[in-house]
């Protein structure tokens, strides 16, 4: 019982922290991770494919989508624990007459049927990774035309794509792998802020509490505590009710369908969406609730959660600053970047990749989150040695991700080179797995173009 009382307090404190650090809630940022992971497989020059608006895709394929979404719903209901079925009223229907003449209605109905935030703009665009030159033939668009949220992205603005414009698959899948953090999963629970869709989606109450904080509503889709061993934690709603596997199966299935129907742009865009959720689970703090904590620590729930949130933000601050520092120096041969590409000496081959042995739907639980949660304690121990204790073990301190806070990467470079080596080695090991995951995912989808 005690833990439940604490849990409500915790939600309050956690939401406050998240309010202050919106950009921190991910492997920040996914587009760069995907881009470097796939550089062996693809390049900016090939393969190339025509950009296609969502409206055009839906007009052509609405009948196939109706059938496919029905089959998908059957699979989800049979295979996912705690899966809330799509209510009849928002199912994608072939007989909606408005679809013949109203593209906007068609898009809205599709977004309701796949239960993402229907206000997502979803334009044709490209995320400009820091190492690629801007395309002078493209106009730029601000973050607000792509995202429902405002946060820090290193190389804004985005580049706009025109219908039919030739674009590389690498750009499409990298850009899309960042997109689920732009508001796609915000406000979907019935007790989130009043909006025009959440009551229809049947996700129930937010497992992170009744907060109207947007990031707390996104969390159950982007985290997955599948391997918690502590029995007190196993019963918590945020451990029990998780929707990341739903997103991965739905979006990877849509990617396969779009590929089969001859829409490579949407095949790579949906693939990028699915990859986002797998990548999130590769981050140890997305897969382990309290790394390094003992059963006794868990009794002190609120302070523990505050400390853990600081650690989580520091990990993402460090990873963010790896790329900002290395890319601004043009240091593309650094082991941290090479790890993503699996071209390190002694990097190991991919012939024995565990991802080859299992279908994509089992990866989230069986491979990605089990590996990352198993590594979480080691990461916690390194963080304790690397940074002043107020950042790691002080529940009264709140670490903010924003520019006011310090660059953890530069701090370690200047103050403690040997522990920086250990932290970098930890990241190298995570990034190797992440690169492998990204490449094997696209290998299994085998998108023809």
Does position 181 interact with Zn ion (CB under 5 A)? The reply is yes
Q: Is the dihedral of CA 9, 11, 12, 16 positive or negative?
A: positive
- Residues 164, 104: Cα–Cα separation, whole Å: 19
Query: Measured from the CB atom, is 168 or 174 closer to Zn ion?
Result: 174
Q: How far is the CB of 49 from Zn ion (least distance, A)?
A: 25
CB 181, min distance to Zn ion, A: 5
Instruction: Give the binding-site size for Zn ion (rule: CB under 5 A).
Output: 4
The CB-of-93 to Zn ion minimum distance in angstroms stands at 30
**For Zn ion, which is the closer residue by CB, 220 or 264?**
220
Q: Which H helix or E strand runs over 126?
A: strand 125-126
Instruction: Closer to Zn ion by CB, 26 or 169: give it.
Output: 26
Judge contact between 307 and 395, C-beta under 8 A. yes
DSSP letters for 147-186: -SS----TT-SEEE--TT-EEEHHHHHHHHHHGGGGTTTS
d(CA 443, CA 29): 22
Q: Can you tell me the distance from the alpha carbon of 79 to that of 4, in angstroms, rounded to the nearest whole number?
A: 29
Cα–Cα distance measured from residue 104 to residue 98, given in angstroms and rounded to the nearest whole number: 9
Distance (Å, whole) CA 109 – CA 112: 5
Binding of residue 222 to Zn ion (CB under 5 A): yes
What character string, x for contact with Zn ion (CB under 5 A) and - otherwise, covers 258-297? ----------------------x-----------------
Q: Which stretch binds Zn ion (CB under 5 A): 6-14, 20-28, 90-98, 203-211?
A: 20-28
Min CB(332)–Zn ion separation in Å: 25
Whole-number Å distance between alpha carbons of 292 and 295: 10
> In the bound complex, what is the minimum distance in angstroms from residue 279's beta carbon to Zn ion?
8
Closer by beta carbon to Zn ion, 109 or else 280: 280
The smaller minimum CB distance to Zn ion, of residues 69 and 186, is found at 186
Is-contact 29 154, C-beta < 8 A? Answer: yes
User: In this chain, which stretch among 173-181, 332-340, 393-401, 415-423 interacts with Zn ion, using CB under 5 A?
Assistant: 173-181
Whole-angstrom Cα distance, residue 146 to residue 109? 20
Least Å distance, CB 276 to Zn ion, is: 6
Length of the chain: 449
**376 belongs to the binding site for Zn ion (CB under 5 A):** no
CB of 273 to Zn ion, least distance (A): 11
* Cβ contact 305:12 at 8 Å: no
- Which range in 18-26, 50-58, 126-134, 301-309 contacts Zn ion by CB under 5 A? 18-26
Closest CB 30 distance from Zn ion, rounded Å? 7
User: Shortest distance, CB of residue 277 to Zn ion, whole angstroms?
Assistant: 7
Residue 222 or 263: the one with the smaller Cβ distance to Zn ion is 222
Q: What is the rounded end-to-end Cα distance, in angstroms, of the chain?
A: 56
Which of the ranges 25-33, 44-52, 166-174, 353-361 carries the binding residues for Zn ion, by CB under 5 A?
25-33
Residue 286 CB, nearest approach to Zn ion (Å): 8
Write out the DSSP string of 53-112.
-HHHHHHHHHHHHHHHHHHHHHHHHHH-TTPPPPPGGGS--TT-THHHH-HHHHHHHHHH
Closer of 23 and 342 to Zn ion (Cβ): 23
Longest Cα pair distance anywhere in the chain, in angstroms? 66
Of 90 and 281, the one with the shorter C-beta distance to Zn ion is 281
Report the residue number, 120 or 412, with the smaller CB distance to Zn ion. Answer: 120
Compare residues 92 and 215 and give the one whose CB is closer to Zn ion.
215
Map residues 74-93 to x or -, x wherever contact with Zn ion holds by CB under 5 A: --------------------
What are the structure tokens assigned to 103, written together? 């593209």
425-437 in b/e form (b: 16+ CB < 10 A) is ebbbebbbbbbbb
Where on the chain is the footprint of Zn ion (CB under 5 A)?
Answer: 26, 181, 222, 280
């Amino acid at each position: 019982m005690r833990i439940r009382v604490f849990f409500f307090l915790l939600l309050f404190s956690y939401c406050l922290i998240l309010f202050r650090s919106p950009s921190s809630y991910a492997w920040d940022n996914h587009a760069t991770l995907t881009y470097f992971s796939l550089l062996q497989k693809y390049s900016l020059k090939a393969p190339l494919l025509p950009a296609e608006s969502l409206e055009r895709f839906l007009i052509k394929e609405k009948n196939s989508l109706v059938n496919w979404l029905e089959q998908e719903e059957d699979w989800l209901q049979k295979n996912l624990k705690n899966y809330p079925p799509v209510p009849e009223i928002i199912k994608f229907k072939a007989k909606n007459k408005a679809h013949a003449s109203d593209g906007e209605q068609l898009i809205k109905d599709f977004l309701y049927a796949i239960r993402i935030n229907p206000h997502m703009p979803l334009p044709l665009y490209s995320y400009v990774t820091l190492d690629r030159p801007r395309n002078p033939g493209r106009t730029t668009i601000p973050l607000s035309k792509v995202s429902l949220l405002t946060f820090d992205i290193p190389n804004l603005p985005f580049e706009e794509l025109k219908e039919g414009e030739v674009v590389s698959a690498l750009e499409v899948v990298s850009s899309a792998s960042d997109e689920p953090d732009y508001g796609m999963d915000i406000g979907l629970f019935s007790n989130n802020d009043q909006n025009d869709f959440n009551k229809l989606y049947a996700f129930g109450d937010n497992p992170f509490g009744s907060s109207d904080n947007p990031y707390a509503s996104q969390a159950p889709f982007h985290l997955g505590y599948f391997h918690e061993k502590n029995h007190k934690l196993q019963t918590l709603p945020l451990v029990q009710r998780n929707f990341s596997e739903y997103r991965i199966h739905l979006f990877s299935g849509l990617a396969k369908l779009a590929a089969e129907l001859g829409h490579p742009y949407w095949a790579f865009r949906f693939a990028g969406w699915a990859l986002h959720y797998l990548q999130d689970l590769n981050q140890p703090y997305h897969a382990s609730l309290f790394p390094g904590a003992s059963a006794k620590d868990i009794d002190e729930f609120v302070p523990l959660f505050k400390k853990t949130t600081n650690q989580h933000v520091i990990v993402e601050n460090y990873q963010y600053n790896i790329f900002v520092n290395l890319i601004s120096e043009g240091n593309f041969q650094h082991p941290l970047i090479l790890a993503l590409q699996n071209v390190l000496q002694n990097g190991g081959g991919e012939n024995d990749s565990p991802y080859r042995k299992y279908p994509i739907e089992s990866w989230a639980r069986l491979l990605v989150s089990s590996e990352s949660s198993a590594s979480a304690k080691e990461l916690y121990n390194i963080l304790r040695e690397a940074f002043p204790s107020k950042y790691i073990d002080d529940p009264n301190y709140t670490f903010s991700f924003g520019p006011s806070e310090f660059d953890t990467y530069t701090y370690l470079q200047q103050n403690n080179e040997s522990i920086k080596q250990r932290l970098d080695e930890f990241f190298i090991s995570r990034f190797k797995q992440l690169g492998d995951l990204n490449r094997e995912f696209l290998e299994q989808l085998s998108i023809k173009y």
